[in-house]
Amino acid sequence: MTDHQTKKIAIIRCDIVSETCPGVGCFMAFNNRKEYFKNYGSNTEIAAFFTCGGCSGRRIYRLLKSLKKFKVDVVHLSSCMQMANYPKCPHIEEIKRTVRNAGMELVEGTHH
């Protein structure tokens, strides 16, 4: 990708955690280019932010497919899907495979 092109990212997060989390941590980290977003330039934008749809991540395949036409480059899995102090996601490996199979770059984390 050349510098002048806008880089588009999508964030997938845990549907269970979304009941209590409005996603502020993810957006703050992105807006301030911190943690897992620190290497992005000002030409990067969040194109999509959605939950997995509940176990076992049933929305992910379908939504990634529809995101292809919006030319999303990178998919971040939110930190809540991977941290020890949240319920451990029993489907995380399958979810990662789904993202890779969609042909998008995978980043495992957002703000922690």
| CB-CB neighbours of 31 under 10 Å | 10
Is 104 among the residues that bind ligand SF4 (CB under 6 A)? no
27, with CB counted inside 10 A (0-12, 13-18, 19+), is middle
Q: Are 107 and 36 in contact (CB under 8 A)?
A: yes
Choosing from 29, 52, 67, 75, the residue that interacts with ligand SF4 (CB under 6 A) is: 52
Nearer to ligand SF4, 44 or 82 (CB): 82
Least gap, CB of 92 to ligand SF4 (angstroms): 6
For residue 46, give both structure tokens.
């969040």
Is 15 among the residues that bind ligand SF4 (CB under 6 A)? yes
Choosing from 9, 10, 14, 74, the residue that interacts with ligand SF4 (CB under 6 A) is: 14
What is the distance between the alpha carbons of residues 86 and 72, in angstroms, rounded to a whole number? 27
- Single out the segment in contact with ligand SF4 by CB under 6 A; choices: 9-17, 31-39, 62-70, 96-104: 9-17
Q: Are 64 and 96 in contact (CB under 8 A)?
A: no
Is 101 among the residues that bind ligand SF4 (CB under 6 A)? no
For ligand SF4, the binding residues (CB under 6 A) are: 14-16, 52, 54-57, 81, 89, 91
